[in-house]
């Protein structure tokens, strides 16, 4: 089977052709977040022939993900496989020639510039606005095209971010100053406060809607990668798939010269230190970041063995801390990642989580 045969139906499209297919093969696309949006996006990009995918996600696969996160199976949920690793394995079965780099990391101001280095396009699979604003900062600062997408409930939206002034030198995706678009902060100057916006964890979400929004994001990504800027939808597009309402809001970049990010080029989210301790979204738990140094997972596993049932797999120690119970009698779940990040599930109190971590893990 040749590559030509694999992509026959795509090269047969006049808007792509052989030249467009070659451009896709030469592209590196970063998928930030590999949940409902990210898995559909990653699968469609891999099948379309994008040569290199970089996938970053901080979470492990859970059973509640399976209704919409198309790259994952029951086995991944049973094993609590990190999403980025499970995605890489599955994509390798779909097309072994696609290079997939997987990072089991929490995207923060400390690592985001490293993750975006050498990337031709960033696509959105995130579930929170804080990280989106960080990605928006990086995209504008380094002139990397960024496709924003979000979905919750039965609603979703997409919008491209092409930094003012045009693409950087030698970029694969090129745009002129006249083709630049507003950034996220032009439209929403500040991220909504945590707890105000519904998120997938609290509001529920329909898998067909996340797939629809991801699919639209991929179409726009392909337009950018093959260089068809003319047909890119530059608007803030949104849909409620249940009530059949769609809208396209065309925001004029000229009206937002004062934008703190793309106007004044101040990158407030990128310049801020990451939160060390952050409550998990939608469930009782706390994420605690390490100090930047990798930890010795073998030693941590040994230490935890006497306090519960733990396993080490895929660069993660994960299990139930039977020695500590939550208010309703459940064992506390503990996950330690190679980079020193820890997730303590059972209560949202940061001080309690830090105490558990220090007592049982010594972190």
Residue 185 Cβ, how far from Zn ion at the closest point, in Å? 5
Q: Which is nearer to Zn ion, 129 or 310 (CB)?
A: 129
Q: Which is nearer to Zn ion, 98 or 167 (CB)?
A: 167
Nearest Cα to Cα of residue 313 among 333, 298, 323: 298
Residue 137 Cβ, how far from Zn ion at the closest point, in Å? 10
Binding region for Zn ion (CB under 5 A): 183, 185-186, 259, 261-262
Residue 221 Cβ, how far from Zn ion at the closest point, in Å? 21
Alpha-carbon gap, residue 235 to 26, rounded angstroms: 27
Q: How far apart are the first and last CA of the chain?
A: 51
Q: How many CB atoms lie within 10 A of CB 257?
A: 11
Q: How far is CA 123 from CA 120, 127, 145, in A?
A: 10, 13, 9
Q: Which is nearer to Zn ion, 47 or 265 (CB)?
A: 265
Q: Which is nearer to Zn ion, 112 or 361 (CB)?
A: 112
Q: Quick one: CA torsion of 44, 48, 51, 56, rounded to 10 degrees?
A: -10
Nearest Cα to Cα of residue 33 among 130, 156, 118, 110: 130
Nearest Cα to Cα of residue 147 among 74, 44, 59: 44
Residue 130 Cβ, how far from Zn ion at the closest point, in Å? 17
Residue 259 Cβ, how far from Zn ion at the closest point, in Å? 3
Residue 17 falls in which region: left (phi positive, over 0), alpha (psi -120 to 50) or beta: left
Q: Which is nearer to Zn ion, 71 or 183 (CB)?
A: 183
């Amino acid at each position: 089977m040749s590559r030509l045969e694999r992509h026959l139906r795509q090269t047969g499209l006049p808007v792509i052709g052989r030249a467009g297919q070659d451009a896709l093969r030469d592209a590196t696309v970063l998928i930030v977040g590999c949940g409902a949006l990210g898995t559909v996006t990653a699968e469609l990009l891999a099948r379309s022939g994008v040569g290199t995918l970089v996938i970053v996600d901080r979470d492990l696969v859970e059973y509640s993900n399976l209704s919409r996160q198309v790259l994952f199976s029951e086995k991944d949920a049973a094993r609590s496989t990190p999403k980025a690793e499970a995605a890489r394995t599955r994509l390798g079965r779909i097309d072994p020639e696609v290079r997939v780099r997987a990072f089991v990391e929490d995207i923060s101001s400390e690592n985001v510039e490293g993750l975006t280095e050498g990337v031709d396009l960033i696509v959105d699979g995130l579930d929170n606005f804080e990280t989106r604003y960080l990605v928006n900062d990086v995209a504008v600062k380094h002139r990397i095209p960024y496709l924003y997408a979000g979905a919750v409930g039965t609603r979703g939206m997409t919008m491209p971010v092409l930094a003012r002034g045009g693409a950087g030198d030698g970029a694969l995706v090129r745009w002129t100053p006249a083709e630049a678009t507003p950034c996220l902060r032009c439209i929403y100057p500040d991220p909504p406060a945590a707890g105000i916006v519904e998120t997938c964890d609290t509001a529920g979400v329909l898998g067909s809607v996340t797939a629809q929004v991801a699919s639209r994001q991929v179409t726009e990504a392909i337009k950018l990668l093959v260089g068809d800027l003319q047909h890119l939808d530059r608007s803030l597009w949104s849909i409620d798939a249940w009530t059949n309402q769609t809208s396209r809001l065309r925001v004029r970049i000229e009206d937002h010269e004062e934008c703190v990010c793309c106007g004044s080029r101040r990158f407030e989210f990128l310049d801020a230190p990451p939160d060390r301790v952050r409550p998990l979204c939608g469930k009782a738990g706390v994420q605690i970041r390490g100090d930047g140094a990798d930890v010795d997972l073998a030693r941590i596993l040994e230490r935890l063995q006497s306090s519960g049932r733990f396993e080490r797999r895929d660069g993660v120690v994960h299990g139930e801390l039977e020695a500590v119970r939550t208010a309703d009698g459940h064992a506390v779940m503990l996950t330690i990642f190679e980079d020193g990040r820890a997730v303590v599930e059972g209560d949202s109190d940061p001080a309690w989580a830090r105490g558990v971590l220090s007592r049982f893990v010594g972190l």
